[in-house]
Amino acid sequence: MIEATMTQNTSLPDSQVARRAMIDSQLRTSGVNEEFVLARMLAVPREAFLPADKAALAYIDRSIALDAGGHLASPLFYGKLLLEAAPMRDDRVLVVEGGTGYLPELLRPLVSDIATISATDAATGKPAAGAPFSLIVIDGAVEQIPDALAAQLTDDGRIVAGLVLRQVTRLAAGRKIDGRVTLRAVEDLGIPVLHAFDAPKGWSFA
């Protein structure tokens, strides 16, 4: 059972205290109460996946932009993503990375095998080592799921991602059925956009 703790006033809060505050004020208040989610997010220090000049921002309630287009998304996004993914011990997982390595570390002890691929490689169809996978999670919001990425998912495999719909980002989850991936929007949520997955813009005439 995860419990909140109180500390004496200090100039810089202890990292674990900050994580407990994140759980109580950001996750539990938004309906994320499953112990496996809270335990992983308590165990993994977000600041360890940020450059030193941004470590003090680790537990804010929004995403943190990094150089070269990377990001560390909000704690709520990762909590909700883990909840929807419902990782199982026998899952073989592919993580489409947001650029920090935080999401793979959250998942690692919950599954049997994990592989990662950059957003650019996933969007351009590069296969990940170890395919096919029973679960794909995407660390960001995308406009489309490329066929080459969907092909790396087992039939009846699950996928959880952010989805850009009419310029709004939403958490989405789905399965691969008869060779096709179908996603359903779960809820509106602020999620960094992975522009490598932007859909081609159609022609327009003035």
20-56 pLDDT, tens digit per residue, is: 999 999 999 999 999 999 999 999 999 999 999 999 9
Domain ranges, ordered by start, for the chain: 15-197
pLDDT at position 13 is: 54
In angstroms, rounded to a whole number, what is the distance separating the alpha carbons of residues 115 and 24? 31
In angstroms, rounded to a whole number, what is the distance separating the alpha carbons of residues 64 and 6? 27
Asked if the model's pLDDT at residue 9 lies above 80, the reply is: no
Model confidence, pTM = 0.91
Residues 6+ apart with CB under 8 A from 8: none
CATH class held by domain 15-197: alpha beta
Token pair recorded at residue 76: 């709520």
pLDDT per position as a tens digit, 123-140: 999 999 999 999 999 999
Q: Are 166 and 114 in contact (CB under 8 A)?
A: no
